Structure 1
Amino acid sequence: MRRALAVSAAAHGRTSPNPAVGCVILDAGGRVVGVGATAPPGGPHAERVALAEAGERAHGGTAVVTLEPCDHHGRTAPCVDALIGAGIAVVHAALADPNPVAAGGRERLRAAGVATRLGVLADEVARGPLRGWLHRQRTGRPHVTWKVAGTLDGRVAAADGTSRWITGPEARAEVHDLRRRMDAIIAGTGTVLADDPALTARRPDGSLHEHQPLRVVVGHRDVPPGSRLTGGDAVLHLRTRDPGEVMDVLTGRDLVDVLLEGGPTLAGAFVAAGLVDRVLLHLAPALLGAGPHALGAAGVGTIADIVRLDVDEVRRVGADVVIDARPAAGQDVPGVGGSVW
């Protein structure tokens, strides 16, 4: 299953609005004979890619897949048909498919005499490349990751506004790898005016990754002529300050994973609206003492309204520390009428 998870990670960012699924086929003797991940929309799903590699060796074997095989005829035929036709004897899936249109694959497999097991590494897989897609299935909107880089005293820029570079090259490379897996990157007009960001996903040598997210600018001010956001691929400029309106537009575009890279004001608005689903905080071992904070007004007026997070992971990236967290379960978010985050 971890091998299936790894191959799904390589496809993450290329499959939206479909889920990035990974599949490994074992022959009857337990040897790996096929590995596959979901192709871009219109292409084969992970099971069919892995089965094509395995060929006749799949007969009597086992399929290990991160998501329950689909029982739905959309752009491609149901994956359960391919598994049954190949003579697969056992299917291990990490997660059930929450999409009612595509669900039901496990029952079809059992009816055909295929043994099934659900829940293998379920928590690990749910936090992986399927995280955004699962969130969209539950909530109907894209999953929002707020990425911020700051100093140990919580500053994201110096007093004069300069911010390049707070974190080290290893952390910056990881952020660009994250960007290439996203469907969109959001920044406010304040950040655009102050930093002139490109909002692209780049390799360490400066070349562009094959997949580039949609670049979204939020705010009423114009993007200056000659800025890095006025050329190249199209930029979506949403002239609003309402995070809900932003999410409505991105939802209508069938986006799944969104990266919030705006400044403190925009980040605070998204937090106050209960629209941040994950926080990736890159902390540099450095102090500034003055300058803008990482988060602006977020609807917290008293300590009782504090926005608490559950930390999933803390790790080192070069000289920096990355904290990967999400809003604590069952928490009431200030400013949104007691909605559960």
Structure 2
Amino acid sequence: MSAEDARFMALALSLGRRGQGQCWPNPAVGCVLVREGRIVGRGRTAAGGRPHAETVALAQAGAAAHGATAYVSLEPCAHHGQTPPCAEALVAAGVARVVAPFRDSDRRVDGRGFDILRASGVAVQTGVMEAEAARDLAGFRLRVAEGRPRITLKLATSFDGRIATASGQSQWITGPQARRTVHALRARHDAVMVGAGTARADDPMLTARGMGVERQPVRVVVSRRLDLPPDSNLARSAHDVPLWLCHGPEIDTATAATWEAAGATLLPCEVRAGQLDPASVLKMLGARGLTSVLCEGGGALAASLLAHDAVDELVGFSAGLAIGAEGLPAIGALGLDALEAAPRFDLQEARPLAGDVMHRWTRA
């Protein structure tokens, strides 16, 4: 890998990151066209997934794309959808070389994009910044491989791991900068998910505010019985911002009709051991195209996801106050008898946030 290839691939990856949370069900891809050492076109997958990054970059480059090198953060697509394949568009534009980290594991592509390029005489190089691209596209690749989105569990707690006082007061444990960082996290995820208890107690909007996003994350509420207040902020805004309700099979038709009239999408899921089965919930969300979900609690939902080994990343915001044992714990009972059975995560970063501390962990 040359220094030039690394430089321009890093730029393509940074462009792709700008589309995270905006592109599902498509991956957030970046593309940079370089000719004789000069950038002649750049683009990222647009909000909603179309147009693709290559299409945007080629349109910007025009005739200058002829003989250029295309740095793309994922194999160019090979299938006909709403637009022709990007691999064919690169060939038609006269691109001489394509550099990408790895193939697209989507069965509709899976090396076929590279095959189209090579068959037309375009040089293809892979393996450039593969590890970095794998982190950026982890959610998309996980949905392709396992049919579920990548799950980030976010918790904002006191020093002693409480998310509210005994009376339920929780606003605000952490400060303004931590809360703004949470909104940025929401903007980078396809969806924000909470349990029914959190939806009832906090009456949240679950939107990404102050981030200038084109496409708000889907709001997902996990509620077996759909025992949610029909006059909540979520209900009032369901026609404007998508609201998906994961529920069990026993809800009555009147309740279902009320929420559907409000604009919510109802997603029936399986029940196991008296609660919604996390695997069923995540498969349902993956089947509808979500690649990344930010779970913001509460404790029962967090415990359920952890117990089923469904959490890929933890993001914690810890404040310098103590609430005490009578406060509400961040994570519900896990039923662990041995420390060896506790889910483990590896620390990736820790930094201060104006009086609070943010710490991020990934699956060990």
TM-score range, shorter chain: 0.7 to 0.9
The answer for the alignment partner of 2:294 in structure 1 is: 259
The answer for the alignment partner of 2:229 in structure 1 is: 224
Please report how far the alpha carbon of residue 64 of structure 1 lies from its aligned counterpart in structure 2 after TM superposition. 0.8
Q: Contact 2:147/2:283 (CA < 8 Å) preserved in 1?
A: no
The answer for the alignment partner of 1:16 in structure 2 is: 24
The answer for the alignment partner of 2:92 in structure 1 is: 85
What are the superposed Cα offsets for residues 47-81 of structure 1, whole Å, 9 maximum, x if unpaired? Answer: 11101101111221111111011222222211111
Match of 1:120 among 123, 128, 153: 128
Residues in 2 aligned to 1:153 and 1:286: alpha-carbon distance in whole angstroms: 8
Say which SS state the counterpart of residue 81 (structure 2) adopts: coil
Residues in 2 aligned to 1:22 and 1:277: alpha-carbon distance in whole angstroms: 24
The answer for the alignment partner of 2:165 in structure 1 is: 158
Match of 2:361 among 320, 325, 338: 325
Per the alignment, do residues 140 and 164 of structure 1 end up closer, same or farther by CA in structure 2, a change over 3 Å counting?
same
The answer for the alignment partner of 1:178 in structure 2 is: 185
Match of 1:294 among 330, 336, 353: 330
Residue 179 of structure 2 corresponds to residue 144 of structure 1: no
What are the superposed Cα offsets for residues 155-202 of structure 1, whole Å, 9 maximum, x if unpaired? Answer: 222233211112221221121122123332221121122222121221
Q: Give the AA of the match of 2:314.
A: V
Farther-moved stretch of structure 1 (5-14 vs 30-39):
5-14
Identity of aligned pairs, percent?
46
Per the alignment, do residues 202 and 125 of structure 1 end up closer, same or farther by CA in structure 2, a change over 3 Å counting?
same
Provide the TM-score with structure 1 as the length reference: 0.88
Residue 51 of structure 2 corresponds to residue 44 of structure 1: yes
Residue 247 of structure 2 corresponds to residue 212 of structure 1: no
Residue 244 of structure 2 corresponds to residue 244 of structure 1: no
Q: Contact 1:70/1:79 (CA < 8 Å) preserved in 2?
A: yes
Match of 1:303 among 339, 355, 358: 339
Q: Contact 1:145/1:279 (CA < 8 Å) preserved in 2?
A: yes
Q: Give the AA of the match of 1:298.
A: L
Per the alignment, do residues 60 and 76 of structure 1 end up closer, same or farther by CA in structure 2, a change over 3 Å counting?
same
Farther-moved stretch of structure 1 (210-219 vs 266-275):
210-219
Provide the TM-score with structure 2 as the length reference: 0.83
Per the alignment, do residues 80 and 308 of structure 1 end up closer, same or farther by CA in structure 2, a change over 3 Å counting?
same
Please report how far the alpha carbon of residue 293 of structure 1 lies from its aligned counterpart in structure 2 after TM superposition. 1.9
CA RMSD, 1 decimal: 2.0
The answer for the alignment partner of 1:233 in structure 2 is: 238
Q: Contact 2:221/2:244 (CA < 8 Å) preserved in 1?
A: yes
Q: Contact 1:30/1:61 (CA < 8 Å) preserved in 2?
A: no
Residues in 2 aligned to 1:68 and 1:295: alpha-carbon distance in whole angstroms: 40
Residues in 2 aligned to 1:125 and 1:310: alpha-carbon distance in whole angstroms: 19
Unaligned runs of at least 5 residues, structure 1:
329-341
The answer for the alignment partner of 1:315 in structure 2 is: 351
Per the alignment, do residues 65 and 254 of structure 1 end up closer, same or farther by CA in structure 2, a change over 3 Å counting?
same
Please report how far the alpha carbon of residue 2 of structure 1 lies from its aligned counterpart in structure 2 after TM superposition. 2.0
Q: Give the AA of the match of 1:297.
A: A
Unaligned runs of at least 5 residues, structure 2:
1-8, 249-274
Residues in 2 aligned to 1:42 and 1:282: alpha-carbon distance in whole angstroms: 31
Residues in 2 aligned to 1:95 and 1:319: alpha-carbon distance in whole angstroms: 41
Match of 1:72 among 76, 79, 86: 79
The number of residue pairs the alignment matches comes to 323
What are the superposed Cα offsets for residues 86-126 of structure 1, whole Å, 9 maximum, x if unpaired? Answer: 22122111232111211222232223222222122221222
Per the alignment, do residues 33 and 320 of structure 1 end up closer, same or farther by CA in structure 2, a change over 3 Å counting?
farther
Q: Contact 2:47/2:215 (CA < 8 Å) preserved in 1?
A: no
